Structure 1
Amino acid sequence: MATSVYETVLIGTCDGVIDKKKNTSYSTNKIGDRPDLLPIITLQYPICSLCQRGLSHVVQIYCPLAASPYHRTINVFACTNLQCCGKSESWIVLRSQCLDDDIKARQDDKTTPYTESAMSRTDWCDEADDWGMDDEEQEKVAESSAQMPSDSTSEGNDVSIRLQDLCIDGGDQSALEPTDVPVFKSFYISVMEESDLGGYHDMDHENKLLREYEDREGKIVREIQSCGSGKAQEEYEKATAKHGDEAFTSFIKKISLCPEQVLRYSWAGSPLFITEPPSNVNQMVSCCGHCGAPRVFEFQLMPALVSLLSSADTSSDISLEFGTVLVYTCRNSCWKSGSTIPVEEFLVVQPDPDQKLFK
C-alpha cells in the first residue's frame, strides 16, 4: 500500500463521560452508546455472523474527506459474547454518507425544524487537517467525488477536518435496535496530532507503564526523557520480547508517548500492527464490494479502549477483549446518490499477544 513520506496521524483520547441529558448527533465522535444516524440513513441493527446475537456499538467517528461534498460517519460494532471475542467475524464496520441537500430536504419535511448549531461546516474547515492525504491522493478523491452523482453545489464541498466534538443537534431518528443488545458507557473522543504529543504531559505515567512492560516481557527500555525542544526521546536497548514478536515491541514504542490513546486515524496511511501480520495482509483486505476500488487503511482502535468498554447498565457485566482493530475503507468512498443504507467496510481484529500467555 503506497503511503506518503510524511503521514499525518491523529490521536483520539477519551474526553469525559457524555451526559445522558445532552443529545449527540452523527457529527459527535464517541465511544459506546447507540449510533447517531445521518438524517437519511436507515440502519437495520447488525448481528454477529458467528452467534447471531445483536452487535453492540463500539465507536462512532465523523470523518468527511477533503474535496468531497458528503457528510461521512463510520460506526463500528462488536459482539460481546465471550465465545466470539478476538474474531474479526464478530465485528462489523459501517460507513454512512449524505449531502447538505439531503439534510435541508429533511428540514423541510419535519414539523419541527431541524436546526444546526451556530458553527457550520465551512466555519471549521479553513484551518483543519487534510487527514494525512498528499496532493496526489487528494486529487484522486476529488476526481472520484466529481464522478459521483451529486445535487449539492454549496460552498462546503471542500470538507477537510480533524476528529473533534462538533455536536449538531440531530432529529429523533434512531437505529432499529433490538432491546436486548448490550450498550456500552458513552464517552466523548477528543483529538490531537501525534506530532504534538511531545511535552503532552509529564512522563511519569509513561515510564511506569514501560517499567511494567519491561518486567512482563523481559525487554530493557530506557526511560523516556523530555528534551529541550519539548519533544520526548526514547531509547530502546536491543533485546527480544518473551513472545518473540518484534511487531509488539514496535507497537509499544510507538504508543509510549500516549498510552491512553483509544484511536489512531491516518486516511490512506500505515496501520500499526500489534502482532506480525501475515505476509499477504494487503491481499487479505478485499476491494470495495460496491465500486471495486481498493480499500485503504483509515483508522484503528487501540488497547486503551478496552478498559472503557463497560456496560451502561450497572446490573450487567459486559466487556470486549482485543489488541487492535484495523479499519479499511473504500479509497473512492463511493456512495450512490439517494442511498439510505450504510456501506459495509472491512476490518481486521488482532488480539493482544499477552492473552495467549494466560491460555
Structure 2
Amino acid sequence: MASSTQGMTLIGLCDGELDSKKYHPSYLTNKVGGEADFSPVIPRQFPRCSLCGAPLAHVVQVYCPLEASPYHRNLHLFACPGSGCSGRTESWTVLRSQCLETEAAAAAARTSSRPAPAQEAPLAATDWGDEADDWGVEEEGDEGWGGGVKTDGQTQEIPASPKEASEGPPAGEMDVSCQLQALHLGETWDPPTFRPFFISVVEESDLGGAEGGLEHAQKLLREYERREGASVRDLEDGDGGGGVEKYEKTKARHGDAVFSRFMKKISLCPEQILRYCRGGEPLFISEPPPGWAQGVSACGACGGSRTFELQLMPALVSLLQRTDRSGEAELEFGTVLVYTCRSSCWSSGSALEEVCLVQMDPDQKLFK
C-alpha cells in the first residue's frame, strides 16, 4: 500500500461471493479464489507445484499500486491443495505483475477490435495501493483461460487439424508424439478453482471503535484464555520498554509467546483474511526459522532486497472451498507471509516471482 502510509495496516475482509453471472472481475478487482485476472499486457500464467507438479489453484488476487508510481500493480498467490503439499512453502507461488496505464488502454483497444468478447474497462478502480480506502467494487471484463496446455509456466498449443492428425509425425518423432498424446489424454490441465469472493478493507486503527465484532472477539479471547491458561489481556503490545519483558514472561500453556501475541493482535477482528502493510512488520503465528528476515532471497530480476508486504490469515482457510467438489484436501495454513522487491522493479514481460513463507497453526497439534 502507500509509502506515505507506511506502517499503517489494512485489514482485508470477505465481502460476499463473486457471482460470475453478475460480475466480471478484472485485474483491478481484489478477490479470493476464482481465476487469476492478469492485466491485458501480461501473458496468462499457470504455475505448477514444485513438489508434485500439479497445477496450482489461485488463492488471492490483490490490486496494489504504489504511491507516485505510474504502474498498475498486482499480486497473485497460488497454492497446491494436494494433501501431501498443503501447508508447505514449496507448494506456493507468488507472482507480481505491473503495467502502465497507456499500455493497458492500448491493449484494451486492440482487444476490443477483435470479434471475440473483449475485456471491458472496470467501473471503478479499487485497490490496496496508496490512498485506497475501499475494495470489493464490482469490475467488468474478463476472458476465459484460453487454449493450450500449460507446461512449466508456458502454454503449448495442441494441433487439432484433421489433416495433421491423419498425416501423423515423422517416424523419428512417433514415440515422443505418442507420449505427449497419452499425457494430454490422461491428465487434467485445468487448475483446481476455489469459490470466488470479493475482498473489502478497513484500517486496523479503526477497529477499536467498531462494536459489531467486539462481542464475538471477546468470546474468542475468553475461550482461548481458558484453554491455554494465560491471560491475553495482561500482555503488553511488545513494542518496546517494559512491555517486552512482561510479554516474554507471560507464556501460554503450550509455551508459545509468539502465538499468544498473534491471538491478541487479531482479537479485535478474528474474521480478517488478509493483512497488508508494505514495509511494515509481519505478524508471525509461530517462531520463524532462524535468520529468516535476513535470509529472504534477493529479487530475481534486479538483485535488490525484498520487503514484507502482506500476509494471509487463518480465517481465509474456511473460505477456500473447491468448486469441483472433488473431495480432495483443502488448503491448510496458519499464515502466509509475502515478501516483494523493495523497489518493485519492472520491465515489460511476464509476471515476476516473489517470495513467501508458510506457517502452520501451532495450536493444531493440541487437537491431534
TM-score (norm 2): 0.77
Measured after TM superposition, the shift of residue 5 of structure 1 is: 11
Corresponding residue to 2:204 among 190, 194, 207: 194
- Decide whether the 8 Å contact of 1:63 with 1:161 is kept in 2: no
Corresponding residue to 2:140 among 169, 177, 180: 169
- Decide whether the 8 Å contact of 2:317 with 2:333 is kept in 1: yes
Q: Does 1:285 align with 2:286?
A: no
- Matches of 2:287 and 2:95, distance apart in 1: 26
Corresponding residue to 2:354 among 341, 345, 348: 345
Secondary structure in 2 aligned to 1:296?
A: strand
Measured after TM superposition, the shift of residue 168 of structure 1 is: 3.7
Q: Structure 2 unaligned runs (5+)? A: 151-187, 235-245
For 1:19-77, what per-residue CA distance to the aligned partner results, in whole angstroms no more than 9, with x for missing partners?
Answer: 12121111111111111111011133111111111111110000000011011111001
- Decide whether the 8 Å contact of 1:222 with 1:237 is kept in 2: no
Q: Does 1:116 align with 2:116?
A: no
- Decide whether the 8 Å contact of 1:10 with 1:194 is kept in 2: yes
Q: 1:161 to 1:84 in 2, by over 3 A?
A: same
Secondary structure in 1 aligned to 2:47?
A: coil
When the two chains are superposed, the root-mean-square deviation of aligned CA atoms in Å is 2.8
Q: Give the match for residue 333 of structure 1.
A: 344
Q: Structure 1 unaligned runs (5+)? A: 131-159, 224-234
Q: 1:6 to 1:18 in 2, by over 3 A?
A: closer
- Decide whether the 8 Å contact of 1:270 with 1:297 is kept in 2: yes
Q: Give the match for residue 142 of structure 1.
A: none
Measured after TM superposition, the shift of residue 199 of structure 1 is: 2.4
Q: 1:336 to 1:114 in 2, by over 3 A?
A: same
Q: Does 1:182 align with 2:181?
A: no
- Matches of 2:320 and 2:142, distance apart in 1: 26
For 1:176-200, what per-residue CA distance to the aligned partner results, in whole angstroms no more than 9, with x for missing partners?
Answer: 7664422111111100100110122
Q: 1:79 to 1:115 in 2, by over 3 A?
A: closer
- Matches of 2:233 and 2:308, distance apart in 1: 32
- Decide whether the 8 Å contact of 2:37 with 2:142 is kept in 1: no
For 1:274-319, what per-residue CA distance to the aligned partner results, in whole angstroms no more than 9, with x for missing partners?
Answer: 1112341122211101101110000000011011111123454441
- Decide whether the 8 Å contact of 1:23 with 1:169 is kept in 2: yes
TM-score (norm 1): 0.79
Moved more, 309-318 or 266-275: 309-318
- Matches of 2:282 and 2:85, distance apart in 1: 24
Measured after TM superposition, the shift of residue 83 of structure 1 is: 1.1
- Decide whether the 8 Å contact of 2:27 with 2:38 is kept in 1: yes
- Matches of 2:75 and 2:133, distance apart in 1: 14
- Decide whether the 8 Å contact of 1:328 with 1:346 is kept in 2: yes
Moved more, 265-274 or 213-222: 213-222
Q: Give the match for residue 66 of structure 1.
A: 67
Q: Which amino acid aligns with 1:187?
A: F
Moved more, 248-257 or 196-205: 196-205
Q: Give the match for residue 365 of structure 2.
A: 356
Q: Give the match for residue 163 of structure 2.
A: none
- Matches of 2:41 and 2:138, distance apart in 1: 18
| Aligned sequence identity (%) | 53
- Matches of 1:251 and 1:4, distance apart in 2: 26
For 1:142-194, what per-residue CA distance to the aligned partner results, in whole angstroms no more than 9, with x for missing partners?
Answer: xxxxxxxxxxxxxxxxxx43561244422425467664422111111100100
Measured after TM superposition, the shift of residue 100 of structure 1 is: 1.1
Corresponding residue to 1:247 among 258, 261, 272: 258
Measured after TM superposition, the shift of residue 236 of structure 1 is: 9.1
- Matches of 2:232 and 2:294, distance apart in 1: 35
Q: 1:356 to 1:23 in 2, by over 3 A?
A: same
